[in-house]
Amino acid sequence: MAEGFISANENDGIVHTDAQVRLNITRCRFHECFRDMGAPGLTQAFCRSDETVFNAYSSSMRFHRGSVAPDTIARGASRCVFIYDRPDR
């Protein structure tokens, strides 16, 4: 979150518990960039890659966006939900 292009995103803070890490992106620069280029649908590819890559990254966590739809700015929400559950806890 502190380096590269993703550091330009705004979030409402990271919440850590023993069982979960959660944050919400409240301003997505990826979506703004693609929207301004006339291709806002490209952001959804990034959203889908998050859902695929984060779950393949570690077997000790499960990434999801919760149960409320829409769950990303690109899909029409006011924020992008990032939830990392630690199933072994």
Q: Other C-beta atoms within 10 Å of 29: how many?
A: 14
DSSP string, 46-80: HHHHHHHHHHHH-TT-EEE--SSSS-STTTT-SSE
pLDDT band at 75 (very low <50, low <70, confident <90, very high): very high
What pTM does this model have?
0.85
pLDDT band at 59 (very low <50, low <70, confident <90, very high): confident
pLDDT tens digits along 10-23 = 999 999 999 999 99
pLDDT tens digits along 29-49 = 999 999 999 998 899 888 899
